Chains A and B, each alone.
Chain A
Amino acid sequence: MPAKWKTELVRFIPLITLLGLVALVATIEPSFVRFSTLTVLVSDTMTLFLMASGATFVILMGGIDLSVQAVASMTSVVVAALLPELGVLAVPVAVAAGLIAGAAGGISHTLLRIPSFISTLAVSGVVTTAAFLFSNERSINISGETRDAHLAWMVGEFAGVQAEIWVGLILLLVLLFVQIWTPIGRFCRIIGAGEQAAIASGIRVDRIKVYAFMLSGATAGFAGVMMAARLGSGSPTLANEFLLPSIAAIIVGGTALTGGVGSVWRTFIGALIIAVVRIGMTFVGVSVFAQQIVFGLVLVLAVAVTIDRSKILIVK
């Protein structure tokens, strides 16, 4: 029995870490746990979660997607440019653009057999150039009316809670469904845990891989749309500095970088851990200039706590 408890405990360490951090900040600054503060924090975190959500599948597979920030920037431009003409239809177009970018990374990775680290990095460059071309090298504003008309469902409010949170939760449920109930989700994890056995069992591993990169591109694209909606503009550099935090969110949640172990809900928790650390520092009164130091240290500690070493033999 105790052994079973222990494995159950390991499963929930990220959640426990999150609650512990919230409690820690709250003891120093009680106003942190007000409902309004927390909902603002969660809604601010949703873009990060969106960006990391699909990429979780790629990491589960043992790969990596470095193109998410470039893709999100690109789709922010696409949605901002097309919104006046297409209305809400601009959103699926932007997501599709992200999906295509993801497919490009996945196909070049599987077809040419180059590491995903490089293929997605290269795709980032191409996507950024495309975004610059599309936007004529400037940022594109979304007028207030256009936004209210077409994107209110995303950045407005519903049942007293920010719409971003609802959108994030719905996406979480959809991706959990994909992860548990569809072959793509299952085989991403199986490929990460034992690619050769998966191949020998007749699984079309390359196809699954491309699907995972497409999923990652699509959610990154969706994240770009949300960013554009929140900021009221799209720009080819809008999502810069989001890449490493999104990977950090995945890993801090307890998904192993080597693949085979992890979940989308963990990424949700991981994104919140990162947000609580960041915002919490302001609440606690850490100087703006010192925040990055604390952030880096907490990142390392959080991974040290949340990672499940029992399934990883050699750490690289």
Chain B
Amino acid sequence: MEAERRGRTDGLGSVIRRHRRWAPVVVLVLLCAIIAMVNPRFIDPFNLVRLLNAAAIPTVLVMGATFVILMGSIDLSVEGVLAVSAVLASAMVANNFTSADFGLWAVPAGILLGLAIGGVNGVAHVTLRIPSFMTTLGIGFVAVGVATAILQGDTVRISDKGFRALSLERILGIPAGVWIAVAAVLVALFIQERTRMGRWLYAIGGDEATARQAGVPIERTRVMAFAVAGAFSGLAGVMAAAQLGQGHALMGQGRLFVTITAVVVGGTALSGGVGSVLNSVVGVLIVVVLFNGMVLMGLPPFAQQGVQGLLIIAAVAMALDRSRLSFVK
């Protein structure tokens, strides 16, 4: 009876809560509509393809970041892992730095390297019992450091056409990089929905103590999540190398905060337990569309950061379901 009575008084609130899930999508649609009205060139197929292309690498990055954030942890090693995987991949295909020419073997190699570094992140975090913020920060430094040490400040230039096709080749008029990103989303969605690890991420982020009592292997799941996140960052590194035709130690610069912003704007809570990789795809699109729109509207580059900052606050304020959070940190 009590429950019914409450249900009734909360009726409106719960309707809003149920629909709040869709807030990021609403933000995205509104944003597109406004930009298209101001500048119709936005919906030009050319621009739309450019947009998708710009979203490809961030999309791959947020897949892993979402898994980690769902646990309530954070992965700051994104830039480092991306850089070192890009350097490895570019050094394995035909290039001006090494005499290697392993062709597409560079792809699994880059992913595996990312997986390994992610695994180190997880193992250090779990066994040393230090916050993931610090382990991934430190190991991110190490990864950039390794790339720097190998190249001594140089840049690897790729001459392998087949490898570059991974990003540039068009299939159905859309660059291959976008298709790779779509595949990455499907894989991530599969992991999230159809594997034990995926479901355990939600359990750990929701209440770690209870999950442990139920027999969820917390440590193993944490390590696996960081490893998977690393693998996605590694794939992003390979894609970046293919897109830019080069590999260097600073390839990842500026990627980290875009990644985390996209995850949060998409509606995944930094406190863990709530969210989805699909949310993060929407988050990436919001960030990319916003950026594209500002360029189309002719905003000077320096002003873009400011506008982006303001709009991110607005988007998060709208999208975040705070009814489940008693307080926010």
Contact = CB atoms under 8 A, between A and B. Distances in A.
Contacts of A132: 302-303
B145 A295 contact: yes
Interface residues of B, number: 57
Given A121-B312, A122-B310, A314-B208, A300 B139 contact: yes
Given A117-B270, A121-B257, A293 B149 contact: yes
Nearest to A307: B130
A258 B131 contact: yes
Interface of A is mostly: helix
Interface in A78-129: 108-109, 112-119, 121-129
Contacts of B153: 289
B32 interface: no
B27 to A, nearest CB: 14
Contact of B309 (A116, A122, A236, A248): A122
A307 B135 CA distance: 12
Contacts of B122: none
A300 B145 contact: no
A159 interface: no
Given A248-B134, A251-B134, A287-B149, A121 B309 contact: yes
A300 B135 contact: yes
Interface stretch (B47-55, B167-175, B319-327): B319-327
A126 B130 contact: no
A315 interface: yes
Interface string A119-144: 10111111111101100010000000
Contacts, number: 164
B320 A114 contact: yes
Nearest to A116: B329
A126 B302 contact: no
Interface in B23-44: none
Q: Which of B76, B139, B306, B308 has most A Cβ within 10 Å?
A: B306
A248 B72 contact: no
A128 B302 contact: yes
A258 B271 CA distance: 12
Contacts of A51: none
Contacts of A199: 327
Nearest to B144: A292
16 contacts: A108-B313, A112-B313, A116-B328, A117-B260, A118-B312, A118-B313, A125-B307, A125-B309, A125-B312, A133-B303, A244-B76, A248-B137, A293-B149, A295-B141, A296-B139, A303-B138
Of all A-B residue pairs in the complex, the 7 with the closest CB atoms, nearest first, are A129-B306, A125-B309, A292-B145, A296-B141, A293-B145, A132-B302, A296-B142
